[in-house]
Structure 1
Amino acid sequence: MAPIGKLYGHPRQPQTKAILSAAAISGLEIDLITFEFGVTNKLPEFTQNFPLAKIPAFEDNEGFKLIEGTVIARYVSALVPKAGLLGHDVKETAEIDQWVHFAESEIYVPAANIYAGMVAKYLPAFSEEQRKHYQEREERSLKFLDDYLASRPSGFLVNDSLTLADIVLAAGVQRVGQTVCGAKEREGAYRHVFAHFEKVTNDERIKHLFGEPGFVDEALSFKAE
């Protein structure tokens, strides 16, 4: 099958993982363009098509363009309805959209901010107060999510099969396991969340896209520099 288009993104980027996973589950191919931060997104051929110079960015074979990771993943999922990534009726689709939004805003964002401040060092003024704020926000969301997943016999968020919501959540939880959840938290308070992560990322169709989880042994603690 010929690729349906090209994607500018980084393989480690959670949004890129979600887009490529949606394509893989749907039996589609997308060309992932080699990308270098600060170089590729400053090239005229990129900025002319995507003036914000952000990734991920998608262009199909007919010149149709999209930005924003979740939007691209949802579009790709909609191309093959029988794959079931957006559910089987309007209520399931609404639930999937709900969990995608929750996964991005309440699971991924707090952990991503801690990662940016403490690991990647993209936030030079990052403080212990900020870490504590994001940690508390993360823990509240993880508790809610773990309780919900404990009630799900299938292990999936919406129905008895993998959906876009599960993929987006797994991509976000990977960052959680790299920052605020050490082995104790993964095996204890949030065991259902990380069982879900294992279930999704061990799917042979997308396992290669997630790679090694890179989880920390202990939750990150703030060290002033």
Structure 2
Amino acid sequence: MAPIGKLYGHPPSLRRKPYILSAAAISGLEIDLLPFEFGVTNKSPEFPLAYIPTFEDNEGFRLIKGTTTARYVSALVPKAGLLGHDVKETARIDQWVHFAGSEIFVPAANIYAGMVTKDLPTFTEEQRKYYQERVERSLKFLDDHLASRSSGLLVNDSLTLADIILATAVQRAGQTVCGAKEREGAYRYVFAHFEKVTNDERIKHLFGEPEFVDEALSFKAE
């Protein structure tokens, strides 16, 4: 099958958010990954607001933002089931997609940027505590939901876009606020879900090693 289009994106970003390529893989689609130089390619005129990833199909149709593009790719092959099988399932998938992004990935990513990559030089202990509490509250809510799911998946008995996007968010949580104790205890259903999704043979290669921390990140006394 010929590729359905091309994707511009910084390789580290595609590793952090592999859901576009995962949606394509599960749907049996191919997408060309184009050479990309951060700060150069994404500042050329064809990149609106320098957003990456940017997707362009074979007819020139363009999309920015990863979640939007992943949803579009998922919709191209309805029988793959990534967006569910009826309007209620689709609504629940959209619900969990937004929840995973805003309530888990964003606060965990802020901790990562503040404490690991040092992209937030004024990051404080108070900010870390705020974001950690936000992630922990969300993970508890999520763990209770997954505990009630015999399939171990969010919406139905097969992988959906919500499961894939949640896995990317949980991976960042496991790199920041969830050490081994939390992964095996308070949030065991969440991390069982992570293992189930990321060990799917169709997309396993896109996630790579989780690089989880042994203990939750904390400020060390100087």
Instruction: Return the TM-score normalized by structure 1.
Output: 0.95
**Residue in structure 1 matched with residue 199 of structure 2 by the alignment:** 202
Q: SS at 1:222's partner residue?
A: coil
**Residue in structure 1 matched with residue 190 of structure 2 by the alignment:** 193
**Letter aligned with residue 183 of structure 2:** R
Of 133, 155, 158, 1:158 maps to: 155
Q: Work out whether 1:73 is the aligned partner of 2:70.
A: yes
**Structure 2 counterparts to residues 123-134 of structure 1, below 5 A:** 123-134=120-131
CA positional deviation for 1:31: 1.1
**Structure 2 counterparts to residues 102-117 of structure 1, below 5 A:** 102-117=99-114
Is the Cα–Cα contact under 8 Å of residues 55 and 68 in structure 1 kept in the other structure?
Answer: yes
Gap regions ≥5 residues in structure 2: none
**Residue in structure 2 matched with residue 39 of structure 1 by the alignment:** 40
Q: CA RMSD in A?
A: 1.3
CA positional deviation for 1:8: 1.2
CA distance in structure 1 between the partners assigned to 2:195 and 2:168 by the alignment:
11
Is the Cα–Cα contact under 8 Å of residues 2 and 30 in structure 2 kept in the other structure?
Answer: yes
**Letter aligned with residue 130 of structure 2:** H
Question: CA separation of 1:132/1:5 partners in 2, compared to 1, >3 Å: closer, same or farther?
Answer: same
**Structure 2 counterparts to residues 162-173 of structure 1, below 5 A:** 162-173=159-170
**Residue in structure 1 matched with residue 29 of structure 2 by the alignment:** 28
Question: CA separation of 1:154/1:11 partners in 2, compared to 1, >3 Å: closer, same or farther?
Answer: farther
State the percentage of identical aligned residues.
84
Question: CA separation of 1:4/1:136 partners in 2, compared to 1, >3 Å: closer, same or farther?
Answer: same
Question: CA separation of 1:11/1:171 partners in 2, compared to 1, >3 Å: closer, same or farther?
Answer: farther
Gap regions ≥5 residues in structure 1: none
CA positional deviation for 1:38: 1.6
Instruction: Return the TM-score normalized by structure 2.
Output: 0.96
Aligned length: 221
**Letter aligned with residue 168 of structure 1:** I
**Residue in structure 2 matched with residue 58 of structure 1 by the alignment:** 55
